[in-house]
Structure 1
Amino acid sequence: MKSIAIYLVRHGETYFNVFGYFQGWSDTPLTSKGIQQATGTGQQLSGQTFALAFSSDVGRAIQTGQIIAQQFQQKAPVITPLLREHFYGSFEGQEITRTWQKIAGQHRCQNYSDLVQTYSVDKAQDFLSQADPTNLAESSQQFWLRFNQGLELIFKQAVSGAQVLLISHSSVIRALVAKYAPTLLTQLTPANAAVTKLVLTGEVEIQMLQVCYYNRAVD
């Protein structure tokens, strides 16, 4: 039975994070604080040995991965669109709180947190997808179909016992923890550059995903 450990890192703080806007497949660069966060996470993880490193192909994740990789003096992560954040369609660049309040209200909820507690993280994404007038925002099913391909790509390339670094996004991490370890989701949005550890187990394909810990922030 093959088993690999994935250290899943959210990208550092960006300008859209500061503004409170949806990013998804859109992008803004890391702030100076975000660069410091990525550097700190790299230092925190410097005692680990990573056989492979992967990243979403969105700029903020690539930038974070490059900064962290410098701490290990290794090659920058392999990038792939399979590991991107959810796509928010016409809501990209829109204010997060106001958008979720409107969508939540359509389902007799007050806000995103209320929506997730009443339904689920995946169902909330479905509600957003259904509310997008362009019909471009990803449904949870579309997201999982894409992202699971990314996890399988990592699993197939890594040897058993390997540790893998993965740079990703808040909505990805939230969806993973909500699905596989919901009791750990005490904070809906992981901190920028925080670390979540996964263990993937299986023969040829992934058969089990375990969340060892969630949202370990760098001081």
Structure 2
Amino acid sequence: MSCRVYLVRHGETVWNAEMRFQGHADVALTETGQKQAWALSKRMSKETIHAFYSSDLKRAYDTARVLAEPHGIEVQKIPNLREINFGLWEGLTFNEIINKFGQKAAKWWDNPSVTRIPGGETLQEVAERCFRALKLIVQDHLGQQVVIVAHGGTIRSIISTVLGLDLNQYWRLRSDNASLNIIDFPDWSKGVLVLFNDCNHLETGTVTPTF
């Protein structure tokens, strides 16, 4: 029996708007981010959803609560769905990271799957913990539909793993704030990407392609 996963990126935060790497920093949604969540909530209000899950970080959980409200379902927090731990890079812009960690940053950009961010994680570690969480959710909801609200990095790593793509190229997968992805699992090992980075529910000017 197939499980359909609605995989959602959280709404915009202040650091998204400022193009800063967030990672495990618990940054709240902006007013725009809240509006994005409500827009997606309206779009999904008529879907039959059996469970809602999110990262335990505020930006993901608050987005998930907005989506879950019309369905009267409590959101379950899963720490393993957190964004990649950017360690010493959290709060910095791309240019600031290049200036302070030039050689290490270049190495991570070329080979993030095995390159450890100073004080943080490798992308392979992120993919493994996220995929473990996803597998448990899918196995618990065969024949059902579930919503998972997570982060750009975790969503990219999940989709890369499902499709058998090279993790080192995960940055080629665009993941906008409050975007909707759908993955069907007729069998756990045969995930099918049905919809990718769909933002049709968002108003022009509210799409932010950031980390």
Q: Does 1:211 align with 2:210?
A: no
Choose which of 173, 184, 191 in structure 2 pairs with 1:199.
184
Structure 1 segments (4+ residues) deviating >6 Å: none
Given the alignment, which residue of 94, 97, 102 partners 1:96? 94
CA 103–214 in structure 1, closer or farther in 2 if over 3 Å, else same: farther
Q: Which residue of 2 aligns with 1:35?
A: 34
Supply the distance in 1 between the matched residues of 2:84 and 2:28 (Cα, whole angstroms): 18
In the alignment, residue 161 of structure 1 is paired with which amino acid?
Answer: G
Asked if the contact 1:171/1:189 (under 8 Å) is kept, the reply is: no
- Residue 150 (str. 1) matches residue 141 (str. 2): no
Gap regions ≥5 residues in structure 2: 203-211
Query: Equivalents in 1 of 2:51, 2:146: separation in Å?
Result: 5
CA distance in 1, matches of 2:91, 2:5: 30
Find the counterpart in structure 2 of residue 78 from structure 1.
76
Q: Distance in 1 between matches of 2:28 and 2:192?
A: 31
> Does the alignment pair 1:126 with 2:114?
yes
- TM-score by structure 2 length? 0.81
* Contact 1:16-1:28 at 8 Å conserved across structures: yes
SS at match of 2:193: strand
Cα distance in structure 1, aligned partners of 2:104 and 2:20 = 17
Q: Distance in 1 between matches of 2:112 and 2:98?
A: 9
Match of 1:8? 7
> Displacement of 1:162 after TM fit?
0.6
The number of equivalent residue pairs is 195
SS of 1:64's equivalent in the other structure is: helix
Cα offset for 1:76? Answer: 2.7
Tell me the secondary structure at the aligned position of residue 126 of structure 1.
coil
Match of 2:51 in 1: 52
In structure 2, what is the Cα distance between the partners aligned to 1:80 and 1:44? Answer: 24
Distance 1:97 1:190, change over 3 A: farther
Per the alignment, residue 190 of structure 1 pairs with 175
Correspondence for 1:163 among 121, 142, 145: 145
Deviations 1:162-219 (A, max 9, x none): 110110111112223334446xx896431111100112243xxx32222112100023
CA RMSD of aligned residues (A): 2.5
Change (3 A) 1:147 1:216: same
TM-score by length of 1: 0.79
Q: Is the 8 A contact 1:177 1:214 kept in 2?
A: no
Amino acid at match of 2:15: F
Q: Partner letter of residue 46 of structure 2?
A: G
- Following the alignment from structure 1 to structure 2, what is the Cα–Cα distance between the partners of residues 100 and 4? 41
Q: Is the 8 A contact 1:65 1:76 kept in 2?
A: no
Q: 1:28 to 1:145 in 2, by over 3 A?
A: same
1:94 alignment partner AA: L
